[in-house]
Amino acid sequence: MNTSHYLSPRVFKINVGFLLSAPLGTSQDSTFDFPEVHVSDDLSLYYLRGPIRISRTKEGILVQATLHAGLQSECYRCLDPVTMDSVFEIEELYTPVGSPSSEFHINDDAALDLAPLVRAEVLMNTDERVLCRPDCKGLCPECGVNRNHVACTCAENQIDPRLAALRKLLDSK
């Protein structure tokens, strides 16, 4: 996959300096509408879209969002690539560095990095048991072909073990 045109994870860094000096309760709404974007070394999305609100609270900055992420997974039955849409809600508090009450922190340069949060949410909300289609035929346990694409004759050639024993008996005579 050529990923050179993907946006870098830097797009997830949001400056909140103006909010930190604003009165409590001040919020700012915006919209994520990224095309292909790298969230981290191990996660790239085909798109990430949705409304996002950041608000000044007593403890720090509250991030709320409802996001749609397009990602590539693989069918657990036949291993073909599957494009899926993952929807998830974010409600997470970013606190100043040194505050122990939160997992996510506001950097010294008054920026939030949403990439680790988005990554965690995408991975947590992605059902690993995804199928390429409801009636996926899977891989043949005998020859390994993808039975959605290729018809093999393994099932027909399979001999009942009891018959096999009988045949052996007959052959030995």
Number of residues in contact with Zn ion, rule: CB under 5 A?
10
Q: Give the residue with the Cβ less far from Zn ion, 21 or 72.
A: 72
Nearest approach in angstroms of CB 156 to Zn ion is 10
| 27 touches 55 (CB < 8 A) | yes
Site track for Zn ion across 54-93, x = CB under 5 A: ---------------------x-xx---------------
Nearest approach in angstroms of CB 50 to Zn ion is 28
Q: How far apart are CA 15 and CA 19, in angstroms?
A: 9
Q: Does 45 bind Zn ion (CB under 5 A)?
A: no
Residue 107's contacts (CB-CB under 8 Å, 6 or more residues apart) are 97, 113
* Span near Zn ion by CB under 5 A; candidates 55-63, 99-107, 109-117, 129-137: 129-137
Tally the C-alpha atoms within 13 A of residue 92's C-alpha that lie toward its C-beta: 21
Burial class (CB in 10 A: 0-12, 13-18, 19+), 78: buried
Residues at the interface with Zn ion (CB under 5 A)? 75, 77-78, 132, 136, 140, 142-143, 152, 154
